[in-house]
Amino acid sequence: MATWIELLASAVIAFTLFQWLSFHRTRSKLGHIPTLGSDWFILSYFDAWKFIFKAHNMIPTGYAKYNKSIFKMPTLTTSSRWLVVVSDLEMIEDMRKAPSDVLSFRGASLDLLQSESLLKDHIRTPPFHVPVVRTPLTRGFSSQFGEVSDEIKASCNQWLDAGDDWKAFVLHKSLVHVVCRTSNRFFLGLPLCRNTEYLKIQENWTLHVMLSANLLNVTPNILKPIVSAMLLPVHSAIKKVEKILAPVIQQRLDKLKLHGQDWEGRPNDMITWLIDAAPPENRNIKDISMKVTLLNFAAIHTTSLTSTNILFDLAARQEYIAPLRAEIEEAIASHGWSKDAMNRMRKLDSFMKESSRLSGFSGISMRRKVMKDFVFTNGTVVPAGVTVAVASGEIQIDPEYYEDPRTFKGFRFSDMRENGSDELDPLRHQMISLDPTYMLFGFGRHACPGRFFAVNEVKALLAYIILNYDIKLPGDSTVPPDGFWFGGNRAPSSSGEVLLRKRRID
């Protein structure tokens, strides 16, 4: 009888042989696309691990070496173990035009987040939350701007409680709390947006999912069900959210059954919008709670990371504070504390966009999984099963598209708007506008549908802080703290501090 060691050795050999065959089958279909790194079976795994920690160095090398064209890299975060990277604008336009059944945003996201293992009970429900974000959430911001601004003030008073003297704050940690409360004031209203247990779950769930997904990406498929079952924080958090939201959701469902969609006092919030949008079979506590959690997943950390980068840049560049304050005060004097006032803050919008251009949260964008063999207009074929993406970080610092691209010019985009540099599209240079040379929110039909809410939320938060606080870096530094990279994604320093005090008016 074979010993357990022999059985284990046989399993390892069989697994390795299967991986070798799969690797060579895929590589043979990609042989016409140049490789950054090694395309040998063993060595490619070293480069795939290198991608996790050094993608921000590897992608610029490929961008320069392959002259804004196309190349492939071994990686652990795609089902094919390859990532095809595009940087030519005509090829990006080909990707934009491709239908979802050919280039799939959802397919790439499911692979990246390992959703089949982590969220298998939920990914099979229709994505009815997406049209909610595109329409009622975006339209509802103006009418609920007063509540959003009220929560910004209340949460800043708690988490950025500066006095008359300078006080140090770990910026990202504080802003996660502020953004989570503010977002959920808009999503759910009072008192849920101040429920401590609920907020803690929503703040932590994104981190648990990302850490779990990274672990599962390096786990053999045969072991993923076992490993996934052990990732208790991801699964238990969803149950806790269901428990907290259950009374509210059930009350709404009962009202809907009794009175239909029109009843006195019907709240205009995320739960109502999701119930309205959900197919009848998904109008239940489990599915509505999950969609609320997914919306928090999309909103909290991207918004807090962006806000942190912008405030680090502002604290390091004191010369921008006075003109930004003057613009904010003028807009509020003319239009009150409102969304209309936010629209008039062109310099602030420009500063936000310039910060994000240079210090965004990813070096790649527009991930798509190829569902059917895809042919670019230049004849390059990418086979089904492979993931493609755009080298957006390098495009955003390319001198072909931006003058003096590596220099921070806070009013770069507002100057473009004022100078009328694009008469055919005067709104092009806004932060929310989609452009293949600026991809913070992606590009094409799957660009972030919540960008209108996100940009206005960040703008309102920054306007409040700029008006009510003085801000600087420790030691009067003029260099923002370094961020860190992981798997091609960038985050600002998690321990970086700013100094705040109540604004002194001379």
Long-range contacts of residues 274-282, Cβ cutoff 8 Å, at least 24 apart: 274/128, 274/129, 274/132, 275/249, 276/136, 277/128, 277/129, 277/131, 277/132, 278/126, 278/128, 279/126, 279/128, 282/125, 282/126, 282/128
Which DSSP letter does residue 161 get? -
Where residue 336 falls (left for φ over 0; alpha for ψ -120 to 50; beta otherwise) is: left
DSSP helix/strand/coil, 158: helix
193 is in an annotated binding site: no
Where residue 448 falls (left for φ over 0; alpha for ψ -120 to 50; beta otherwise) is: beta
CA 252 to chain centroid, in Å, comes to 30
CA neighbor of 149 nearest in space, from 113, 180, 122, 186: 186
Contact 486, 305 (CB under 8 A): no
- The 3 state secondary structure assigned to 204-244 is HHHHHHHHHHHHHHCCCHHHHHHHHHCCHHHHHHHHHHHHH
Contact 171, 474 (CB under 8 A): no
Length of the chain: 506
Contact 292, 128 (CB under 8 A): no
Helix (H) or strand (E) holding 178: helix 171-187
Between CA 452 and CA 427 the distance in angstroms is: 13
The DSSP annotation for 63-89 comes to: HHHTTSSEEEEE-SSSTTSEEEEE--H
DSSP helix/strand/coil, 125: coil
Provide the residue type at 39 as one letter: D
Which pair of structure tokens corresponds to residue 248?
């509210």
CA neighbor of 309 nearest in space, from 45, 94, 496, 65: 496
Between CA 109 and CA 335 the distance in angstroms is: 40
Between CA 483 and CA 196 the distance in angstroms is: 29
Question: Does the CA dihedral 145-147-150-151 come out positive or negative?
Answer: negative
Between CA 473 and CA 415 the distance in angstroms is: 27
- Please enumerate, by residue number, every residue annotated as part of a binding site: 448
Positions at the binding site for heme:
448
